Structure 1
């Protein structure tokens, strides 16, 4: 096969890219994390503040990565950034973390949350959650076996579709809600160790996914200009939407009831506000919204597998780097991510999984944030410069460290497990490099 024929196509424009950013971020988190954020914050004012603070941390992170990404507009995102900043080993671990831990885990978490809503919509027992979640992952994965424009079109459709339930919740809550959104205190706390830090950590799962568009740098038209714009505009839009949704929910549902409803808060609001039929339609809109998020994850993570396989950085790299002849889709990489997500889904609760996802990715985000200072010294001329430098990168770093420490204190056992899976990447990397050297020596001997 000609080398040029085995390349991803640069077909994604600004519209597709911004739809993927917003569609990937807005999904299960804002609908399912309201109760857990409130339970940790213990009152509605701090809960709203947690959503806003989480958005500010994310925006600072996005502005920092936008400068880095504009200088490295290649397929692979964080994997490429850390390799170019710190060398092959750290770059490999960033990629390994995303394809073995973070990617499958976040896909599993989103699918698990979506399946809960599907069970409510169909009126069936939540014991069907795992089979339904597995089916959703497979169906969305099949969409991404075709040309990348098919997945991008699905993102655009679901992003437009998800605006209907979002604006319905915002408008109904703000104008027909009877409660004061501020200063509501819950009487019963379900969890121990809850605090503002844990509340912010819970919101960051809802904001996460913004960096995944960087994995499509090799398929984007004019990525040096488009990438910073879509990251910044996408995160800003999501921050405003999340703050308004949260205020709308608190206006319509008392804090104590949200605390009791837990993951069923959104389904309750939909039925209470719009009746049985209207509630069903609104719930369906939210399900479509979450499918768009799932699609965004399944579009982007196989591109990391593909980028690593092209570099011969993974076992079975030849197979994982395969692209379909017509659509240039990394189908084997997609299948591998789907399989790992299915394993994660059967082993973990979605809520706990979502927090561990955020912790794992932020360990590597912080390293990337520090990289902006290195690049500033090396490259005085840049396609994009982070505004308010160095304050914005410092805020991003502080926010990242805040996430890491909060999760270490909140779930040390889960942290040790996920770090252990990441560290396993070191002997895998050593084995792959040794094998690649043997292949090179063999080819030289044959010639």
Structure 2
């Protein structure tokens, strides 16, 4: 890389680009699985729909918190920048370590595996087909984003549009068609609304990734709020519509009894052809999520490279493509290693990622608290977006994260110690690097 490597990110992303990224990350594989889990934990059809609406409201509350932080401190480092400003670089680095080793790269690998599983159903490649598809998808979309930011966001707009149209088409078929004969009645839901919300918010997960493009948005102080609010609003509307379609097609009892809600709904509507349609839709949704996650994830490692002299090789921004080239390579290499590990011990890999959920919610809680800390300091520049109904809104966000932290620990049990172990492995890096002078003060 030449002098181009010393360039900084250009503000080249529009609100439409940001919304496409957000919707592309959120509307992924979860919506095809979690409705059954939600139905099993609510008592009525009204409660089922209300729970999805409530999930959208909670997501919007979180989006408002991130909108203020992102407009006040726009940075390609996203949450790393917020946590470092509020609690010191040590906390920021600990978050960055968890994200690099499991949270982000693990998510990339898992989404790639989902694509591989469904692509294998459409075009089988033998025993190792899913792994080949997964690794190829990561390499291909890393290459697209390595080529340049315009290419990455262009691909994202395409896949997001196709995914949304496909999901809406499934919803339209379900709403227009008559109710199918439901399977034999399942057990009555236990009414565990809290657990239902855990699954719903998992399905809404990913909206916070918008923080990582705040350093590249045009007119960021107004644009970041629009991206988050419009994106979360669009996802909420889409999820409510598609779940109404599932409810009409299968009924609440049918949802509870189904192991593959979307597949059963499509089979009821279109017969055998419905399975192929669903496979292609899931492939498209997985690729949309994969590209957006690769695009946003690499921005964090670039931000760390700006802060720490020992990691300065990742402080390379390619001016020609307006992209963090070396950071993309680091992220891709780590994700491909996890794909290899996942191919050898699939169950262990998925368990490792699932058990880090407490770590994720812990840091999201700290991001919420950071708003109170940074507001008190009053260090932000004027003109930023300010979250409405302060302090109630961020307090509600923190309480939600606290509850989900508790729920994820209870769900994982002793397995949650795996996440603690992963964090502990990063402590030496934090202790050594946190004392090093920042290469880019104020980032």
Structure 1 residues 344 and 86: CA distance shift in structure 2, 3 A = same
Deviation at 1:296, TM superposition (A): 0.6
Gaps of 5+ in 1: 440-447
Question: Which moves more between the two structures, 162-171 or 341-350?
Answer: 341-350
Cα deviation per residue 1:267-295 (whole Å; 9 max; x = unaligned)?
Answer: 33334323444653453233212211111
Is the counterpart of residue 201 in structure 1 residue 213 in structure 2? no
Alignment counterpart, residue 310 of structure 1, candidates 290, 306, 310: 306
In the alignment of these two chains, the number of paired residues is 429
Name the residue aligned to 2:177: 176
Out of 288, 299, 316, which is 2:295 matched to?
299
Q: 2:6–2:315: 8 Å Cα contact kept in structure 1?
A: no
Work out the CA distance in 2 between the residues paired with 1:123 and 1:298: 26
Partner SS for 1:145: helix
Which structure 2 residues correspond to residues 218-229 of structure 1 after superposition, within 5 A? 218-229=215-226
Name the CA shift for 1:105/1:52 in 2 (closer, same or farther; >3 Å).
Answer: farther
State how far apart, in whole Å, the 2-side matches of 1:324 and 1:267 are. 43
| Distance in 2 between residues matched to 1:121 and 1:353, nearest whole Å | 29
Cα 1:420–1:357 change in 2 (3 A) is closer
Residue 372 (structure 2) aligns with: 373
In the alignment, the residues of structure 1 paired with residue 147 and residue 235 of structure 2 have an alpha-carbon distance, to the nearest angstrom, of: 29
Alignment of 1:188-267 (within 5 A): 195-262=192-259, 264-267=260-263
Shift in CA distance, 357/140, structure 1 to aligned 2, threshold 3 Å: farther
Q: Over aligned residue pairs, what C-alpha RMSD do you find?
A: 3.1
Partner of 2:187: 187
TM-score (norm 2): 0.86
Give the structure-1-normalised TM-score.
Answer: 0.86
The aligned residue for residue 336 of structure 2 is 342
The alpha-carbon distance between structure 1 residues 400 and 323, as it changes in their structure 2 partners (threshold 3 A), is same
Contact preservation (8 Å) 2:185, 2:254:
no
Structure 2, gaps ≥5 residues long = none
Q: Secondary structure at the match of 1:216?
A: helix
Contact 1:201 1:355 in 2 (8 A): no
The answer as to whether partners of 1:151 and 1:295 remain within 8 angstroms in 2 is yes
- Residue 12 of structure 1 aligns to a residue whose secondary structure is coil
Superposition pairs of residues 261-300 of structure 1, within 5 angstroms: 261-262=258-259, 264-277=260-273, 279-300=275-296
- Counterpart of 1:156 in structure 2 is 157
